[in-house]
Structure 1
Protein backbone atom coordinates (compact mmCIF):
# COMPACT_ATOMS: atom_id res chain seq x y z
CA UNK A 1 0.00 0.00 0.00
CA UNK A 2 2.94 2.30 0.66
CA UNK A 3 3.91 2.32 -3.04
CA UNK A 4 0.43 3.44 -4.07
CA UNK A 5 0.69 6.31 -1.61
CA UNK A 6 3.73 7.48 -3.58
CA UNK A 7 1.64 7.62 -6.74
CA UNK A 8 2.86 4.31 -8.13
CA UNK A 9 0.45 1.99 -9.87
CA UNK A 10 0.20 -1.78 -9.78
CA UNK A 11 2.38 -3.53 -12.35
CA UNK A 12 0.76 -3.45 -15.79
CA UNK A 13 -1.41 -0.38 -15.05
CA UNK A 14 -0.50 3.03 -16.48
CA UNK A 15 -0.82 6.23 -14.52
CA UNK A 16 -2.10 9.38 -16.27
CA UNK A 17 1.36 10.57 -17.36
CA UNK A 18 2.26 7.15 -18.75
CA UNK A 19 -1.07 6.92 -20.58
CA UNK A 20 -0.51 10.37 -22.11
CA UNK A 21 2.96 9.30 -23.22
CA UNK A 22 1.56 6.05 -24.67
CA UNK A 23 -0.77 8.22 -26.78
CA UNK A 24 2.29 10.19 -27.94
CA UNK A 25 4.07 6.94 -28.84
CA UNK A 26 1.03 5.82 -30.81
CA UNK A 27 1.18 9.07 -32.83
CA UNK A 28 4.91 8.50 -33.46
CA UNK A 29 4.15 4.94 -34.59
CA UNK A 30 1.45 6.13 -37.01
CA UNK A 31 3.90 8.74 -38.36
CA UNK A 32 6.55 6.06 -38.94
CA UNK A 33 8.97 7.56 -36.39
CA UNK A 34 8.90 4.40 -34.27
CA UNK A 35 8.13 0.83 -35.30
CA UNK A 36 7.09 -0.69 -31.96
CA UNK A 37 6.67 -0.01 -28.26
CA UNK A 38 5.73 -2.03 -25.21
CA UNK A 39 4.60 -0.94 -21.74
CA UNK A 40 6.58 -2.69 -18.97
CA UNK A 41 7.69 -5.25 -21.55
CA UNK A 42 11.25 -5.70 -20.27
CA UNK A 43 12.78 -6.31 -16.86
CA UNK A 44 16.47 -5.74 -16.11
CA UNK A 45 18.36 -7.48 -13.32
CA UNK A 46 20.69 -4.90 -11.75
CA UNK A 47 21.98 -7.02 -8.85
CA UNK A 48 20.85 -9.87 -6.62
CA UNK A 49 17.21 -9.20 -5.75
CA UNK A 50 17.33 -5.80 -7.49
CA UNK A 51 15.37 -5.34 -10.70
CA UNK A 52 14.34 -2.44 -12.90
CA UNK A 53 11.19 -2.54 -15.03
CA UNK A 54 11.15 0.53 -17.27
CA UNK A 55 7.89 2.04 -18.44
CA UNK A 56 8.43 1.62 -22.18
CA UNK A 57 10.72 -0.20 -24.58
CA UNK A 58 10.64 1.56 -27.94
CA UNK A 59 12.06 0.57 -31.33
CA UNK A 60 12.80 3.63 -33.39
CA UNK A 61 12.43 3.64 -37.19
CA UNK A 62 16.22 3.24 -37.52
CA UNK A 63 16.04 0.00 -35.49
CA UNK A 64 17.60 1.39 -32.31
CA UNK A 65 15.94 0.18 -29.11
CA UNK A 66 15.40 2.83 -26.46
CA UNK A 67 14.31 2.29 -22.89
CA UNK A 68 12.06 5.16 -21.81
CA UNK A 69 11.11 5.96 -18.24
CA UNK A 70 8.18 8.36 -17.81
CA UNK A 71 8.21 10.45 -14.65
CA UNK A 72 5.99 13.14 -13.21
CA UNK A 73 8.70 13.65 -10.61
CA UNK A 74 11.79 11.69 -9.68
CA UNK A 75 12.35 9.62 -6.57
CA UNK A 76 16.03 9.02 -5.76
CA UNK A 77 15.79 5.24 -6.14
CA UNK A 78 14.37 5.56 -9.69
CA UNK A 79 17.22 7.83 -10.82
CA UNK A 80 19.81 5.45 -9.34
CA UNK A 81 18.22 2.47 -11.09
CA UNK A 82 18.09 4.07 -14.55
CA UNK A 83 21.71 5.23 -14.21
CA UNK A 84 22.80 1.76 -13.13
CA UNK A 85 20.88 0.11 -15.99
CA UNK A 86 22.46 2.52 -18.50
CA UNK A 87 25.91 1.43 -17.29
CA UNK A 88 25.11 -2.29 -17.42
CA UNK A 89 23.08 -2.71 -20.62
CA UNK A 90 23.70 -1.70 -24.27
CA UNK A 91 20.51 0.29 -24.73
CA UNK A 92 19.80 4.00 -24.84
CA UNK A 93 17.98 4.93 -21.62
CA UNK A 94 15.82 8.04 -21.76
CA UNK A 95 13.87 9.75 -18.98
CA UNK A 96 10.72 11.49 -20.21
CA UNK A 97 8.84 14.20 -18.32
CA UNK A 98 5.78 16.16 -19.38
CA UNK A 99 6.50 19.86 -19.83
CA UNK A 100 3.94 22.22 -18.30
CA UNK A 101 1.63 23.93 -20.79
CA UNK A 102 3.01 27.33 -19.74
CA UNK A 103 6.46 26.04 -20.82
CA UNK A 104 5.13 25.04 -24.25
CA UNK A 105 3.92 21.53 -23.42
CA UNK A 106 5.32 18.42 -25.01
CA UNK A 107 7.91 16.15 -23.48
CA UNK A 108 11.36 16.85 -22.02
CA UNK A 109 13.90 14.07 -22.51
CA UNK A 110 17.08 13.30 -20.56
CA UNK A 111 19.45 10.66 -21.96
CA UNK A 112 21.45 8.36 -19.67
CA UNK A 113 24.51 6.82 -21.34
Structure 2
Protein backbone atom coordinates (compact mmCIF):
# COMPACT_ATOMS: atom_id res chain seq x y z
CA UNK A 1 0.00 0.00 0.00
CA UNK A 2 1.40 3.41 -0.95
CA UNK A 3 1.79 6.07 1.72
CA UNK A 4 -0.76 8.87 1.55
CA UNK A 5 0.39 11.89 -0.38
CA UNK A 6 -0.02 15.25 1.29
CA UNK A 7 -0.61 18.41 -0.65
CA UNK A 8 1.87 21.17 0.02
CA UNK A 9 -0.77 23.88 -0.02
CA UNK A 10 1.21 27.03 0.49
CA UNK A 11 -0.26 29.98 2.30
CA UNK A 12 0.72 33.52 1.46
CA UNK A 13 3.97 34.66 3.06
CA UNK A 14 3.15 35.99 6.48
CA UNK A 15 -0.02 33.90 6.87
CA UNK A 16 -0.08 31.30 9.64
CA UNK A 17 -1.55 27.85 9.21
CA UNK A 18 -3.87 26.42 11.89
CA UNK A 19 -1.07 24.66 13.78
CA UNK A 20 1.11 27.80 13.89
CA UNK A 21 -1.85 29.93 15.05
CA UNK A 22 -2.66 27.39 17.77
CA UNK A 23 0.97 27.44 18.96
CA UNK A 24 0.98 31.25 19.06
CA UNK A 25 -2.26 31.30 21.07
CA UNK A 26 -1.39 28.48 23.49
CA UNK A 27 2.37 29.01 24.03
CA UNK A 28 3.74 32.31 22.73
CA UNK A 29 1.04 34.71 23.90
CA UNK A 30 0.87 33.15 27.40
CA UNK A 31 4.69 33.29 27.49
CA UNK A 32 4.54 37.03 26.78
CA UNK A 33 1.90 37.53 29.47
CA UNK A 34 3.93 35.58 32.07
CA UNK A 35 7.12 37.49 31.26
CA UNK A 36 9.08 34.47 29.99
CA UNK A 37 9.08 35.74 26.39
CA UNK A 38 10.25 39.29 25.67
CA UNK A 39 9.49 39.29 21.92
CA UNK A 40 8.52 37.04 19.03
CA UNK A 41 7.78 37.43 15.36
CA UNK A 42 6.25 35.08 12.80
CA UNK A 43 8.58 34.48 9.83
CA UNK A 44 10.68 37.41 11.06
CA UNK A 45 14.10 35.96 10.18
CA UNK A 46 15.43 34.50 6.93
CA UNK A 47 18.71 32.57 7.17
CA UNK A 48 21.03 31.82 4.25
CA UNK A 49 22.20 28.20 4.32
CA UNK A 50 24.00 28.12 0.95
CA UNK A 51 23.81 29.83 -2.45
CA UNK A 52 20.12 30.10 -3.32
CA UNK A 53 19.13 28.09 -0.24
CA UNK A 54 17.35 29.79 2.63
CA UNK A 55 15.52 28.77 5.77
CA UNK A 56 12.78 30.85 7.37
CA UNK A 57 11.85 29.58 10.83
CA UNK A 58 8.18 29.89 11.73
CA UNK A 59 8.91 31.98 14.82
CA UNK A 60 11.92 33.94 16.05
CA UNK A 61 11.55 34.15 19.85
CA UNK A 62 13.58 36.15 22.34
CA UNK A 63 13.30 35.02 25.94
CA UNK A 64 13.61 37.58 28.71
CA UNK A 65 16.99 35.97 29.52
CA UNK A 66 18.20 37.25 26.14
CA UNK A 67 18.33 33.80 24.50
CA UNK A 68 17.21 33.93 20.87
CA UNK A 69 15.40 30.84 19.63
CA UNK A 70 14.24 29.82 16.19
CA UNK A 71 11.09 27.70 16.52
CA UNK A 72 9.66 25.53 13.76
CA UNK A 73 6.05 24.42 14.26
CA UNK A 74 5.05 21.21 12.51
CA UNK A 75 2.05 18.95 12.27
CA UNK A 76 4.31 16.50 10.43
CA UNK A 77 7.89 16.56 9.10
CA UNK A 78 9.17 16.44 5.54
CA UNK A 79 12.77 15.35 4.93
CA UNK A 80 13.58 18.75 3.39
CA UNK A 81 12.41 20.67 6.47
CA UNK A 82 14.35 18.44 8.86
CA UNK A 83 17.57 18.85 6.83
CA UNK A 84 17.22 22.64 6.71
CA UNK A 85 16.77 23.05 10.46
CA UNK A 86 19.75 20.75 11.14
CA UNK A 87 21.98 22.71 8.73
CA UNK A 88 20.83 26.02 10.23
CA UNK A 89 21.59 24.76 13.75
CA UNK A 90 25.14 23.92 12.66
CA UNK A 91 25.71 27.34 11.09
CA UNK A 92 24.02 29.85 13.42
CA UNK A 93 24.44 30.61 17.16
CA UNK A 94 20.71 30.46 17.98
CA UNK A 95 18.82 27.72 19.74
CA UNK A 96 16.76 25.83 17.17
CA UNK A 97 13.74 23.85 18.20
CA UNK A 98 10.98 22.01 16.43
CA UNK A 99 7.58 21.89 18.02
CA UNK A 100 5.09 19.24 16.92
CA UNK A 101 1.44 19.16 17.85
CA UNK A 102 0.49 15.98 19.67
CA UNK A 103 -2.82 14.29 18.98
CA UNK A 104 -5.46 13.92 21.68
CA UNK A 105 -4.54 10.22 21.73
CA UNK A 106 -0.97 11.27 22.65
CA UNK A 107 -2.25 13.52 25.42
CA UNK A 108 -2.42 16.76 23.39
CA UNK A 109 -0.11 19.72 23.74
CA UNK A 110 3.27 20.03 22.09
CA UNK A 111 6.39 17.88 21.83
CA UNK A 112 9.71 19.72 21.54
CA UNK A 113 12.91 18.65 19.79
CA UNK A 114 16.04 20.78 20.18
CA UNK A 115 18.68 20.85 17.42
CA UNK A 116 22.30 21.62 18.25
Q: TM-score category by the smaller chain?
A: over 0.9
CA distance in 2, matches of 1:48, 1:91: 21
The aligned residue for residue 15 of structure 2 is 13
State whether structure 2 residue 105 is matched by structure 1 residue 102: yes
Which runs of at least 4 in structure 1 moved beyond 6 Å after TM superposition? Answer: none
From the CA coordinates, give the structure whose radius of gyration is larger. 2
Equivalenced residues, count: 110
Q: Could you tell me how far 1:65 is from its partner in structure 2?
A: 0.4
Q: 2:54 aligns with which of 51, 56, 63?
A: 51
> Structure 1 length normalisation: TM-score?
0.92
CA distance in 1, matches of 2:35, 2:50: 36
Q: Could you tell me how far 1:11 is from its partner in structure 2?
A: 1.2
Q: 1:64 aligns with which of 53, 64, 67?
A: 67
Aligned-residue CA RMSD (Å): 1.3
> Structure 2 length normalisation: TM-score?
0.90
Q: 1:85 aligns with which of 83, 88, 97?
A: 88
The aligned residue for residue 37 of structure 1 is 40
